[in-house]
Amino acid sequence: MTWSATARGAHQPDNTAFTQQRLPAWQPLLSASITLPLFFCAGLAFIGLGLGLYYSSNAIKELGYDYTGNPGTGDCSLCGVADQDRAPPPSCRCAWNFSLPELFQGPVYLYYELTKFYQNNRRYGVSRDDAQLSGLQSALRHPVNECFPYQFSAKGVPIAPCGAIANSLFNDTFTLWHQRLPGGPYVEVPLDRTGIAWWTDYHIKFHNPPLVNGSLALAFKGTTRPPNWPVPVYQLSPDPNNTGFINQDFVVWMRTAALPWFRKLYARIRQGNYSAGLPRGNYRVNITYNYPVRAFDGHKRIILSNISWMGGKNPFLGIAYLVVGSLCILTGFVMLVVYIRYQDQNDEAEDQE
């Protein structure tokens, strides 16, 4: 036996049905009796699912109020007029009053919504330092170049947190008040501000730097706040478990939106007498108007909403399933007509032969 024959034998696959590709195989022949039922069944399934999603979405209740403050639009118009100068006056306050004739079924979620705000802009979306946000001490002193021009202050001090996303943090605040009886006092509705961020963001991506002598302020020593912030990051909240890089509002804001109109969770209403929802009565939302949007022709809304098994109100998914299901059934009927027509022609040709 020559060397080449020996080499070929060493590399030759085993003589089995699997390695020699002799396993039995099935190749379907798509006929009208198979294809047409598939189209009709798929169409009915999509339509059924679409109807369920659509009606579930419509069953969700929402109350919204545009508090941008365009002239003549309500209590927030004075703050909106000042917003034309790129920033409202400090502590500009307004209110939204509404009434509920019946129970607003819980759990109730409070959102804020912005329009014409392009968090999906490429340069804006990368303007952050994930190493800094994860709590690395070295990253506090050396923010990445992607944060420019919010990398260092005018005096050369590193900014923490750096970048355009952090610098544009939403800072309007809301409180909700309930009047049980006409003419009676207003009682503040407790807003649960915990657990509003994604679990992976809060527990994995965002961490404060190690404390120095038990102080978070000393851990951030040698850094400065973003230019648009009134306070440094370690003073975002008096709660030591909700300040710094792990502040819930900050973590929610740092998860950028894919579209120029978006809403973000502000609080849940699920405590005390409001665990089942908002009882009937008069309500007032006190708004501290800080965030300027009229400079870029944007709008701000506050939204009260409950949820269903599919999440928040979103009719698009149900409509999409209905459209796809309808197209499947329409395609099935077209194919059925074509099949019957040409089947008759084939039968006539066979009879003539």
Residue 297 φ/ψ region, left for φ over 0, alpha for ψ in the -120 to 50 degree band, beta for the rest: left
**Could you please report the per-residue DSSP string of 166-189?**
HHT----EEEEEEESSTTS-EEEE
User: In whole angstroms, what is the distance from residue 303 CA to residue 325 CA?
Assistant: 32
The encoded tokens of residue 311 equal 């999440």
Looking at residue 25, its pLDDT comes to 80
Mind giving me the DSSP string for 233-244?
GGGS-SSGGGSG
- DSSP character for 146? G
pLDDT given at position 350: 58
Q: What is the mean pLDDT of each run of 10 residues along the chain (353 residues)?
A: 54 81 80 87 95 90 88 70 58 89 92 96 96 94 95 95 96 94 91 94 95 94 94 94 95 96 94 91 94 90 88 87 96 90 65 58
Label the pairing between strands 281-289 and 173-179. antiparallel
pLDDT of residue 181: 87
Strand partners, 267: 110
Sheet strands side by side (includes 262-269): 62-66, 299-306, 108-115, 262-269
Query: How many CA atoms lie within 13 Å of 10's alpha carbon, on the beta-carbon side?
Result: 7
- One-letter amino acid identity for 122? R
Annotated domain spans of the chain:
43-60+310-338, 88-105+118-259+273-293
Angle ∠(179,182,184) on CA atoms, nearest 5: 60
DSSP 8-state assignment for residue 203: I
Q: How much is the pTM?
A: 0.81
CB-CB contact of 274 with 171 (8 Å): no
| Residues 6+ away with beta carbon under 8 Å from 73 | 66, 80
CA 150/CA 226 separation, integer angstroms: 7
How many whole angstroms separate alpha carbon 216 and alpha carbon 221? 9
Cβ–Cβ under 8 Å, residues 208 and 246: yes
Q: Can you give the pLDDT at residue 331?
A: 93
